[in-house]
Amino acid sequence: MNQAHHRMTELFQQLGLPSEDAEIHEFLSKHRPLPAGKTLAEAEFWTASQASFIREALMLDSDWTGIVDQLNEALRASQ
């Protein structure tokens, strides 16, 4: 696994989403909690390309995997 560490702001930029701290917090608040039976990539709020990026990051164990995992955990938290 590549040991590069990305920050949440970089992930949101990569996904083409607003990436300021307040905007990330708003996104998380709006979309949590993610249903237990649904993978992160299956969430209805992603575009096809965003879902593909998330799926590939996890499948390929890329340098994005750690921060994608953190996003997954944040979206499953109850607040």
pLDDT at 4: 61
Residues 40-68 have pLDDT tens digits of 999 999 999 999 999 999 999 889 999 99
CA–CA separation, 58 vs 69, rounded Å? 8
Which DSSP letter does residue 46 get?
S
**Cα–chain center distance at 4:** 16
Give the confidence band of 79 by pLDDT, cuts at 50, 70, 90: low
CA distance 47 to 50: 5
Type of residue at 55:
R
Look at residue 78 and tell me whether its pLDDT is greater than 90: no
